[in-house]
């Protein structure tokens, strides 16, 4: 009986740790953001925190056909580039401030900056 109680308590502790490590404010397909101005971004291990309200994975890439605005800078550009290197802008290449919005039940979100509206796909690990 003593062993069963010990195993039960350990499993409760483990479940509590898992629950407490869940990221609050994580932007998902079900999320909706109604036009919010983002003024600060922090990056920690590939996870972005926007104004301490929203959390995104850093691999949210810009959706574009032929070109994207020239003001987007390649902040992740490698020191040595090969001819095969292609710059695919991600959310980390957009500097604040900008306006963020997202429609409910869409896997995309939008960033408005410099009179451009940019469409990004939600990333994941």
Per domain, the residue ranges of the chain are 27-121
- Residue 61, number of CB atoms within 10 A of its CB: 15
How distant, in Å, are the alpha carbons of 5, 93, 112 from that of 36? 49, 19, 10
Q: Give the tens place of pLDDT for each residue, 56-99.
A: 999 999 999 888 999 998 887 787 878 888 889 999 999 999 99
Instruction: Flag whether pLDDT at 6 surpasses 70.
Output: no
Q: What is the pLDDT of residue 5?
A: 45
Residue 11 has pLDDT above 80, yes or no: no
Cβ atoms of 102 and 109 closer than 8 Å: yes
d(CA 51, CA 40): 5
pLDDT band at 125; cut points 50, 70, 90: low
Tell me the two tokens of residue 89.
Answer: 């802008």
3-state secondary structure of 63: strand
Nearest to 49 by CA among 41, 58, 57: 41
- Per-residue model confidence (pLDDT) at position 75: 80
Residue range 29-48: mean pLDDT, rounded? 94
Within 10 Å of residue 95's Cβ, how many Cβ atoms? 12
Average pLDDT value over all residues in the chain: 83
- When pLDDT is cut at 50, 70 and 90, the band that residue 4 belongs to is low
């Amino acid at each position: 009986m003593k062993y069963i109680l010990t195993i039960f308590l350990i499993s409760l502790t483990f479940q509590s740790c898992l629950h407490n490590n869940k990221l609050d404010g994580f932007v998902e397909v079900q999320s909706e953001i109604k036009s919010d101005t983002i003024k600060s971004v922090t990056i920690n291990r590939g996870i972005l925190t926007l104004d301490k309200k929203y959390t995104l994975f850093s691999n949210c890439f810009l959706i574009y056909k032929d070109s994207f605005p020239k003001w987007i800078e390649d902040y992740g550009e490698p020191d040595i580039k090969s001819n095969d290197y292609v710059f695919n802008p991600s959310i980390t290449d957009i500097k604040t401030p900008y306006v963020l919005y997202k429609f409910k039940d869409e896997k995309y979100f939008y960033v408005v900056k410099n009179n451009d509206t940019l469409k990004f796909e939600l990333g994941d690990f």
